[in-house]
Amino acid sequence: MDTLLANNTIVHDENRQGEAFAPFVLDTNRYKKLFYIESYGCAMNFADSEVVASILQSNGFGATKNFEEADLIFVNTCSIREKAEATVRKRLTEFRRLKKSNPGMLVGVLGCMAERLKAKFIEEEKLVDMVVGPDAYRSLPGLIEEAETGQKAVNVLLSRDETYADIAPIRLNSNGVNAFVSIMRGCNNMCSFCVVPFTRGRERSRDAESIINECKTLFNDGYREVTLLGQNVDSYHWIGSSQMSIDGTGEIYEEPVSFAILLERVAQINPLLRVRFSTSHPKDITDDVLFTMAKYDNICNYIHLPVQSGSTRVLQLMNRTYTREWYIAKVNRIRELIPDAGISTDMITGFCTETEEDHQQSLSLMRYCKYDLAYMYFYSQRPGTLAARRFEDDVPEDVKKRRLQEMVDLHRQNTLESMQRDVGKTCKVLVEGFSKKTQEDLQGRNDQNKVVVFPKGNYKKGDYVFIKITSCTSGTLIGVPVTV
């Protein structure tokens, strides 16, 4: 799956992390019951948890940050790696033990694992009371009522049109500055290693006007950055009705909205609203998108462009539909049109039949592209995928891990060099909050998605500050505010 992850605490896999979160409850007396959501995996899961929170709150349930006082516990899950599933199972086992001292508590599993494993959670492992797939969140109130009677509640039906476009998400544990906005769901790319088409269904785009309105509301509420989310944002396509005004006939016509058009319309909301997006499939990102990025200063010059392997032979086995040379040409085009663009990627080591020569090609591609950020992991075969049906998982695990470590070591060298090139430069930073190390410093990100730390002075969250970079580590730029 091509996705860029949210930050912090709960390990998703070897290099990619998720976070457990729920908003604070200000008045528990107004709610009939309290719920707690813990999310793992990709940014789409985090956005889905905000939709779930909205559905539950509109039905009289309140959120709590303390799972021990919750009447309902939901774990929003990821199936992209075996380790991610193992982590979720361990957490569900802990909640089952908690349930023994609170028999009235209900535990439910949401998301991709729910879709993939379906009733196995209930019938074989007896871990949960509810299993709810990513297209079935509207049915949660009814499923809760069913589970409260002692029945096990399951809804994992996939939809061809569900986008939750009419639901205003509740921003869970928000910093009030950054927000995710889902623009589409599902995926039509059948990458042989990926379970997403089977757990999230076919691709469908959300109503463009609902996206624009959500972004406008976020800006008016004080948010200063939105990230447009989709498994493959560049294939976004919406055809909606518009009122003809050019010739005064008042006729209704169908107006297609591409991702480039959507991106521009979001950027036009206000110059103070920063816009990011994730994820781009290399085969689909167009010059129109790149031209739009170059045109608007508030569209961040940062692209997540997963390659997965540097070997054309392996890419063909992965069904990625491009070659090494084609991918390099795309990177070159990005840097031609947006010279200071930050580029990140996903890489897999040890895919079926991968040889040392294939691995070396991946390393050489990383040396060429010099990614600013990379999510790297060794191949984990997922049941039901095309690769599981077609190929033998024949690379020994110790070889996979050794190749992964070589890749990680190279990437650390690349990122340090990338950071060092920024020393002495001045960049515009959106303040997101205090530094992780001290409240005497603030931190934010620049256009290229690099973390920047600087003295707090009189600045606050949501401010834009020009920072001159004075030093760096391999993961952080350090600087001082300047007047430009």
pLDDT value for 13? 33
- Reported as a single tens digit per residue, the pLDDT across 155-206 is 999 999 999 999 999 998 789 999 999 999 999 999 999 999 999 999 999 9
Alpha-helix residue ranges (DSSP H) falling in 285-396 = 287-295, 312-318, 324-337, 356-369, 386-390
Q: How many CB atoms lie within 10 A of CB 463?
A: 16
Q: Quick one: average pLDDT of 324-338?
A: 98
What confidence score (pLDDT) does residue 353 get? Answer: 98
Query: CA–CA distance from 157 to each of 39, 118, 198, 292 (Å)?
Result: 21, 10, 11, 37
272 and 296 together in one domain:
yes
DSSP letter at 367?
H
Cβ atoms within 10 Å of 214's Cβ, excluding its own: 21
Structure-block tokens of residue 345: 């990627």
Which of 369, 389, 421 represents a domain boundary (last residue)? 421
**Residues spanned by the domain of 439:** 426-481
Query: Are 399 and 433 in a shared domain?
Result: no
470 membership: H or E segment, kind and range? strand 464-472
In a domain, 296, yes or no: yes
Label residue 7 by pLDDT band (50, 70, 90): very low
Task: Say yes or no: 323 and 282 in one domain.
Answer: yes
Residues 137 and 202 in one domain: no
Above 80 in pLDDT, residue 226? yes
Instruction: Report pLDDT digits (tens) over 377-432.
Output: 999 999 889 999 999 999 999 999 999 999 999 999 999 999 999 999 999 999 99
pLDDT in tens, 21-78: 444 444 445 678 999 999 998 889 999 999 999 999 999 999 999 999 999 999 999 8
Task: Let me know if residue 3 belongs to a domain.
Answer: no
- Does 138 have pLDDT greater than 60? yes
Averaged pLDDT for residues 67-96: 90
**One domain for residues 349 and 206:** yes
Instruction: Measure the CA–CA gap between 190 and 418, rounded to whole angstroms.
Output: 33
Angle at alpha carbon of residue 58, lines to 236 and 227, rounded to 5°: 30
Same domain flag for 393 and 468? no
- DSSP lists the bridge partners of residue 19 as 39
Mean pLDDT, the chain, rounded, equals 90
When divided into structural domains, the chain yields a total of 3
Angle (CA) 216-39-405 rounded to 5° is: 110
| Residues 357, 464 within the same domain | no
Q: Which among 163, 255, 251, 174 has a CA at the least distance from the CA of 211? A: 163
Q: What is the pTM of this model?
A: 0.89
Give yes or no: residues 187 and 324 share one domain.
Answer: yes
Structure confidence at residue 263 as a pLDDT band (50, 70, 90): very high
Together in a domain, 59 and 184: no
**Is 471:460 a contact under the CB 8 Å cutoff?**
no
Q: Domain end: 155, 186, 208, which one?
A: 155
322 and 395 together in one domain: yes
| pLDDT tens digits, 352-369 | 999 999 999 999 999 999
Same domain, 49 and 146: yes
Q: How wide is the angle at C-alpha 109 spanned by C-alphas 94 and 378, nearest 5°?
A: 80
- Residue 447 DSSP symbol: T
Does residue 263 sit in the same domain as residue 115?
no
